[in-house]
Chain A
Amino acid sequence: MVDITLRVNGATRTGSPEARKTLADFLRDDLNLTGTHIGCEHGVCGACTVIVDGRAVRSCLMLAVQAAGSEVTTIEGLAPDGGLGTLQQAMWDSHSFQCGFCTPGFVMQAAAFLGDHPDADEQQIREALSGNICRCTGYQSIIDGVLLAAERNREQ
């Protein structure tokens, strides 16, 4: 066990995970933040994507102990007041999900990308989301949602 302190969604959290525990499992099991989904568990599907120190990362490919001292944002932290943020609302309006399993990963990857590239076009968004797998939607509605969010962000 290793004692760690980190910031998750703006709050200071502590824990004592085993070294082998991934950040994904730590968020879900130790912090009860089950919005982060675990799909393939070896870095292929992107479902567990969270934002660590401003960058999208796969939380199944990072140990919890490596997040000590970091600022982590999970899907629960995107709209802390319980409502929906601009990106989430735009994805809702565009029917960007079906079963919903991959959704948190797509939303976090898109959030990180739009933060750095507010003027991204469709091709750039496709490229940025190319590491996330969805087995329901065929992706088009997801791309539409992120494009709509980018548009609404620019209008604000």
Chain B
Amino acid sequence: MKLPPVEYEAPTTVAEAIDLLAEHLDEASVLAGGQSLIPLLALRLARPMVLIDINGIDELSGVSAVGGRVTIGAMTRDYVAEVSEAVANTVPLLAAALPLIGHEAIRSRGTIGGSLAHADPAAELPAVARALDAEFVVRGPSGERVIPAAQWFEGYLTTSRRPDELLLEVRLPAARRGTGISFQEVARRHGDFAIVGLAVSLVVSGEVISDARLAFAGMSHVPVRAAAAEDLLVGERPSAELFDEAARRATDDLDPPADLHGSSDYRKMVAAAMVRRGLRAAADNARERQ
């Protein structure tokens, strides 16, 4: 369908954008890449009075790797991050997830901040952010806040960003030595939303797993960590038996949604298989990178 009538603002600075957000609050939607918001408008699932288009705010774009972490501006487009050496060298889990986002033409426009602020629980980037304990930097009329990923995703398409705040950037920790990663996804067609997705990051030091991070996409109303599996893995040597047990624990207390793509039970079965596969791939990856 055609988009409904909507007012349009195109600020060129963060300060102007925040003024506009403070003025319009809940009646405004921030337009970044538009690859989720425009369909929501077309389908009348979102009806903002005002679009605040942040595409003209240059200071919101860019990738920088400084001091053990990578900082990605909210308006950085997916394809820019996809070809970024800083991302590839320091946050391999993000680099693995980026090519799985939508299709090539979607990544031409889609942005890192847009996907994370849209907070679709089936999307790739929220799972990566949750797995790596990313930090979200937002600014509003009363100043800046840094929000950890565990508090950022509040519910389905809902974050802890206040209506008068703008997401400026996301910070991701650089992968430590001995890190192995894997991003697993099952979708009916490559590029479609995952039925289940899984971000895995392991640190293997001296044959023993010293850090384990697993975050699911598509298994809940927010991206979720498999804490019980993580606890099991830390301190152990990678093995098929260990990964089988991790798969059981990872999915035990989950109650994933059912839809026409799969029942709740089906999602749990896929998720368990994915944990085994993802852990194996991440452990192999850690060995290769040592």
Query: A63 on the interface (CB 8 Å rule)?
Result: yes
A36 to B36, CA, bound (A): 21
Residues A42 and B55 in contact, CB atoms below 8 Å apart: no
Question: Once the chains bind, are A62 and B34 in contact (CB under 8 Å)?
Answer: yes
In the complex, A2→B8 CA distance in Å?
9
Within 8 A of A (CB), among B84-112: 102-106, 108-109
Cβ-defined contact, A22 with B108, below 8 A: no
Decide if A20 touches B2 in the complex (CB within 8 Å): yes
- The CA-CA distance from A52 to B77 in the complex, in Å, is 14
CB-CB under 8 A from A41, the residues of chain B are: 1-2, 42
Q: Which among A2, A43, A46, A128 has the highest number of chain B CB atoms within 10 Å? A: A43
Interface string of B111-123 (1 = CB under 8 A from A): 0000000000000
Residue B244 CB within 8 A of the other chain: no
- Give residues 101-149 of A contacting B (CB, 8 Å): 109, 112-113, 127-128, 130-132
**Set A60, A113, A130: member contacting B190, Cβ < 8 A:** A130
B191 touches A130 (CB 8 A): yes
Check if A131 sits within 8 Å of B106, measured CB to CB.
yes
Contact B38 A55 (CB under 8 A): no
Q: Tell whether A61 is near chain B: CB-to-CB under 8 Å.
A: yes
Find chain A residues with CB under 8 A from B106 CB: 43, 58, 61, 131
With A2-B8, A20-B5, A131-B191 known as contacts, the answer to whether A57 contacts B42 (CB < 8 A) is no
B152: min CB distance to chain A, Å: 25
The tally of CB-CB contacts under 8 A between chains A and B is 88
A150 beta carbon closer than 8 Å to chain B: no
The tally of residues in A whose CB lies under 8 Å from a CB in B reads 32
Q: B39 at interface (Cβ–Cβ under 8 A)?
A: yes
- Given A19-B6, A20-B2: A131 in contact with B103 (beta carbons within 8 A): yes
Contacts of B3 in A (CB 8 A): 20-22
Q: CB distance B105 to A58 under 8 Å?
A: yes
CB-defined contacts of A65 to chain B, threshold 8 Å: 8, 10, 53
| Closest chain A residue, CB of each to CB of B51 | A19
Interface centre among B5, B7, B34, B189 (most CB of A within 10 A): B34
Is B35 in the interface zone, CB < 8 Å from A?
A: yes
Roughly how many angstroms separate A92 CA and B103 CA in the complex, as a whole number? 25
> Is the CB of B79 closer than 8 A to any CB of chain A?
yes
User: Chain A contacts of B235 at CB under 8 A?
Assistant: none
**If A18-B5, A42-B42, A66-B53 touch, does A128 touch B109 (CB 8 Å cutoff)?**
no
**B34 and A61 within 8 A (CB):** yes
Does B4 reach chain A (CB closer than 8 Å)? yes
Residues of B within 8 A of A (CB): 1-8, 10, 31, 34-35, 38-39, 41-43, 51, 53, 55, 79, 102-106, 108-109, 189-191
- A-to-B contact residues, CB < 8 Å: 2, 18-22, 25, 41-44, 46, 49, 52, 55-58, 60-63, 65-66, 109, 112-113, 127-128, 130-132
